[in-house]
A and B are shown apart, each in its own frame.
Chain A
């Protein structure tokens, strides 16, 4: 099974900060990676698919990059609505989620 490792587990940041979350796959997944945002008590929301494609309606401050085994999610200027938990997910071979990164207020 493909393992997904996210870092950091928790990230403290302020409004306006540039934030980067990393996701590493245990083997190559090409670009078959998605990023989701989840707020407490809610279902996850798709932000990025195919590593770097922005889902319709998602603000442009969110961006994704990478291929193979190394991927990043970047929020260019953190907004109050962005404090949440973020998950990466590979869908190259079955499915696996990363363990999540909680973005909290500094």
Chain B
């Protein structure tokens, strides 16, 4: 069965970086975009960007341009999201989520379990 298993919770100081991993199983890793979505405590969902695991191409939301880097390691079917220059308002649960790579736009069909990143001095 399809699984997206994310790395564990992180506590970081302001100004630091965090790297969250998302290990995929149960499907062809290179056949699906990996998107990243975050959710601050008590708030809504915020899209951060995606990576095409096949090509390594990325597309980031303008808000995160210059601070976010999405990468992948196809040998272990794992996607990564690194966010730098952390601020307290980056405290959130970060989700990875897959979307099929098809000709027409498609929605998320599977999500990771989420990774809580807490930014605090």
Partner-A contacts on B (CB < 8 A)? 35, 37, 44-47, 59, 61-62, 95, 97, 99, 105-109, 111-114
Contact = CB atoms under 8 A, between A and B. Distances in A.
Given A49-B107, A50-B107, A92-B105, 8 more contacts: A36-B108, A43-B95, A46-B107, A46-B108, A46-B109, A87-B45, A89-B107, A95-B35
Leading 10 A-B pairs by shortest Cβ distance: A43-B111, A34-B107, A95-B47, A49-B107, A97-B45, A100-B44, A32-B105, A91-B105, A99-B44, A46-B109
B111 A44 contact: yes
Contacts of B113: 43
A74 interface: no
Interface of A: 1, 32, 34, 36, 38, 43-46, 49-50, 55, 87, 89, 91-92, 94-100
